Every structure is written in C-alpha cells, then in structure tokens.
Chain A
Amino acid sequence: MTEPILRTQDLTFRYTTAEGVAPTVLDCVNLTIEPGAFVAVLGHNGSGKSTFAKHLNAILLPSGGRVYVDGMDTTDEALLLDIRRTVGMVFQNPDNQIVASVVEEDVAFAPENLGVPSAEIRRRVDEALEAVGMTEYARHAPHLLSGGQKQRVAIAGVLAMRPRCIVLDEPTAMLDPVGRREVLDTICTLNQELGMTVVLITHHMDEAARAQRLVVMDNGRVVKDGPPAQVFQDVVGLRRLGLEVPDSVALMYELRQAGLDVPLDVLTPEDCARAVAQILPH
C-alpha cells in the first residue's frame, strides 16, 4: 500500500494562555488522507477545523500526538522546508497572502525562497499561472484584480512549489458567487487533472458536496467521515452541529417526513430533479 500523504495520530492541541488555562482545540484527531484524494473538512466556526489545517504543514505543532506529511514527522525541524513544499496552504483573505506588487513576481516568491535556479522559476511560474487560468494577468498589479482572481494568484503561488498536496482554509469565504465558482473549479481541476491531493476547509455545503470524502468536525473531534452522499443523509445530526445540508438533500428529507419514498443521497440539482421525477405523475 502507498504511504498516505497526510496522517495524524492522536493529534491534540491546546492553546497556552497567559492565565495558564488551556482549552483543548483539537482532541485526539486520527485521520489518514491518501494521495490524490479530495477531502472537505466541515464544521462551524470554532470547531477546530482551521487549527487542524495549520497542523498539516507545521505552522502549528501538536501538543500531543503526531502529524506525518508523506511519512515526515512535522516536529522534526530539519524537515521543515520539505514539509512545507509538500503541503501548500491557501488562506481566506487573498489580500493578506500576496507578497509582491506584480502577479508573476508573487508567484515566483516560493521557488525563490527554495533556491530554485532562475530559468526553472520562470518555467514554474508560467505553468502555475496557466494551471489557474491567470496567464494573461502575469504583469498586472494584484490589488486591481477581483477577489476570485486574487485567490487564484494565491493558489498559483503555492503551485509554484510543486506541492503534492494543497490545503485551502475557507478560500471562498470572502468571495462573491462568481469568484467562488472560479476558485472551486480551479481546485477541482487541480485534483482531477493534476492528481493533486486537496484538503478543503469550508462551511459551504455545496462546496463540500464536490469532494470525494467529507470530514465533519465539532469541538475539536472528528464526528463524521465518509462520502458526501452518506454524510449528508444525517440531516438532523448535522443541524444539531450548527450545519446545514444542501437544499436538495433538505427537500428529500422533507419529502421523506411527508411519507414519500425518496433517496437521501442526492447531491446536485440534477440528481434531485431526477429523484423528484420518480414520484411525480406525468
């Protein structure tokens, strides 16, 4: 069997505050993510999902347990750069992660840090911009781009490290629907066409529905883990966690409550329309 790209083993994290109180943010998280997977991590604000993400490339180190990136222990300082070039990270606010005042200079930032020769950097920058569809904006100033475009530049900046895995912490939270679609389509392309492992932290159910695997977190623990169609079936359980299911699933649930025999595992409007058609008279 192949080595998992990400593996956490009893991962526990506590903040140490001035008063010495140490609330537990992550509580014995055990997760294994295989190369090429597309995993969405869902949870309400404060469920620990962002803290979890920051452990995946050694921005935070566990208070207890271990995190392995492609077999490397994240507490091993000698491996820090190798870990960070393996797992790239994209954050919520695109403005606060763009370093340079020209798009291509920004994309070049990571390979420059890694000491890649100039000709090779040029090649990587062009490739990365191509992959996110921003080639024509290479010489633009980032602050004049739309939110979705900025976020794609941020993704390109990570791709230029040639990571094997990319972790996105609520990348669409600050974007409008068009920007959200741009970014999400980009993420899906990376996963499907380049075989990149994707971990998407989100609280948008429709985004989570596009993943292959859904992990739900609450109070620093993993409470559900499975394919979206299966996880969404527990409508009541998710609502109790402060989460909503996609409207299509909610409709199926309502119809079931009304005594109709409909499947709960519909994820898209197409699936939903097909399921409804089954019970409608022509």
Chain B
Amino acid sequence: MNLKDITLGQFFPGNSFLHRLDPRMKLLGLICYLVALFLAQWFVTYGVMLLLLVWGCAVAHIRAKTLLGGMKPVIFLLIFTAVLNMFYTPGTPLVSFWIFTITYEGILHAFFMVVRIMMLICATFLLTYTTSPLSLTDGLESLLSPLNRVRVPVHELAMIMSIALRFIPTLIEETDKIMCAQRARGADFDSGGLIRKAKALIPLLVPLFISSFRRADELATAMECRCYHGGQGRTRMRELRLRPSDWLFLAAMIVVAVAIGVLGQSGL
C-alpha cells in the first residue's frame, strides 16, 4: 500500500453554485436532506431525493463515477443491510428454503434501505467535495458557537481540526521516510504473522511519535510568536457572510424536507 494514495477530506476546487454557498448553509442544507431521506417512503419521494442529488452533482461538475467510487469502503455494510432486510421483513413469501424466507416486502425494503444509505453517503460526499476543509471548519465553528455559552471550547476544537488537516500530508510524508530508513537497515514491515507485524511497527511508531511531539512543541511556540492567545478577540480575514442566495438555498431545503415528510405520510 502506498501511503500517498490515501485521500482524506478530499476537496475538488471549483467555482460552482454549490462551491460558493456559505459552508453553514451547506451543512444545514445537508441536515435537511438527511432528514428528508428518512421521511421518504416510496418511489415518488425517493425519486425526488435522487433528482436533487443528480442536480447537485450536475451543478458541481462532479461525475457519478467519482461519487460511487467513494462507496467502496461501505460495500460490505450495504450488502449486510440488504441481506438482513431481505430475510427479516415479514410479508408475502416469494421464495422459501430451510429456515429462510424471502418476502416481496423484504426485497423492496432492502432496496430502499440500500438506496437510502447510498444517497446519504453521496450527499455527504457532495458537501466535502465542494467545501474546502478550512471553510468546513469555519462553518462548523460558527454553527456551534452558541455552545460556547455552555462552556464547550468550540474555537479550540475547530483549531485542532484545522491543524490536524494541515499536518496530515506532512505526517504521511514523514511516515514514508522513516519506513524507508528502517527498511534500509533490514526492517521488514510486510511479512510474518500479526504479532511479528505489530512488533515490526515499533521502529516506525517510536520515531513518528517523538517527531510529532517535537513538531507540536515547535508549532505551539511559532503560534505564540504570532500572537495566538485563544479565540478571544480573534477576527477572520474571510468573514462568513450570508447572501440572499444562501438563505434561498436553506429555505428550499426546508421546503423539500417538509414536502417529503407530507408525501411520505400519504404513502407515496
């Protein structure tokens, strides 16, 4: 496995409507979408949800292939859900063998369940694909700021998140380097049983920990030198400012959620 192939918090830069939306509204919009997804019942409501997703992809110029590619890690979960729903939904039996019975309702239920999970994941990906990690953190910080009153250190948490994002590539590079250096001294990370493999990681993990602590220490000093003293009195270069289009987007998403709820109630 090549460590450089791992992509975390992937973001595709662009300038589409979705890219330009305020990150807070995108987050709230996503919540509306997820709520609607759970209120959806039958083909009509699911169809509307799917249309919305397709519209989002088209607007953001993200290909369905890219989106579905991100599904790979959850394939197992999807199959598991499908099987479970297929066998454990009571109704009109279609096929029956040994102690298992597959029902007509079971198949439909499994289908909707899988579609629901897939759309849920796709919608979340659509958010991270169109929002830079930095503005996502900003958005979260701003949305959660009321929690400050109940002494949740929102600014600190957001700062931790953005520093983690900043250092992921640096640490991946460093891991690669230390691995190479130990391999040059005959270390073997690939063969042997689980215990041997775990033991072989010590020459990698110890230097990595030590260097991370050193980095953290130096970074803290550098931040102090640049007058960092917590979130108090801090301003931002890019203030988040809501435009009418942002409000419009949120209003539309709320309408969608309510409408899906009503339609779902009437069994559509």
Contacts and interface: CB of A to CB of B under 8 A. Distances in A.
Interface of A: 57, 59, 81, 84-85, 88-89, 91, 93, 95-102, 104-105, 108-118, 121-122, 125, 141-143, 157-158, 161
B222 A97 contact: yes
Contact of A158 (B132, B226, B229): B226
Contacts of B215: 95-96
Contact of A113 (B163, B222, B227): B227
A59 B233 contact: no
B65 interface: no
Contact of B225 (A57, A108, A125): A57
Contacts, number: 94
Given A91-B218, A115-B233, A143-B169, A99 B239 contact: no
Given A113-B234, A121-B237, A122-B237, A97 B218 contact: yes
B56 interface: no
Given A88-B225, A115-B234, A161-B226, A99 B218 contact: no
Nearest to B232: A115
Nearest to A117: B235
B237 A113 contact: no
B221 interface: yes
A89 B225 contact: yes
Interface in B206-263: 214-215, 218-219, 221-229, 233-239
Contacts of B101: none
A105 B237 CA distance: 8
17 contacts: A84-B225, A89-B222, A91-B221, A95-B170, A95-B215, A99-B162, A99-B166, A99-B226, A100-B134, A110-B226, A111-B235, A112-B234, A118-B236, A125-B237, A157-B226, A161-B226, A161-B227
B256 to A, nearest CB: 33
Most chain B CB neighbours (cut-off 10 Å) among A84, A117, A157? A84
Nearest to A116: B235
A214 to B, nearest CB: 24
Contacts of B203: none
A5 to B, nearest CB: 17
B235 A100 contact: no
B134 A118 contact: no
Contacts of B229: 81, 113
Contacts of B236: 108, 112, 118, 121
A122 B219 CA distance: 24
Contacts of A110: 226-227
A101 B165 contact: yes
Contacts of A91: 218, 221-222
A56 B239 CA distance: 33
Given A84-B225, A95-B215, A141-B169, 5 more contacts: A59-B224, A59-B225, A91-B218, A109-B228, A117-B235
A105 B134 contact: yes
Which 4 A-B pairs give the minimum distances between C-beta atoms?
Answer: A97-B222, A110-B226, A96-B218, A108-B237
Nearest to A167: B225
A252 B132 CA distance: 58
Interface string B84-117: 0000000000000000000000000000000000
Nearest to A141: B169
Contacts of A161: 226-227
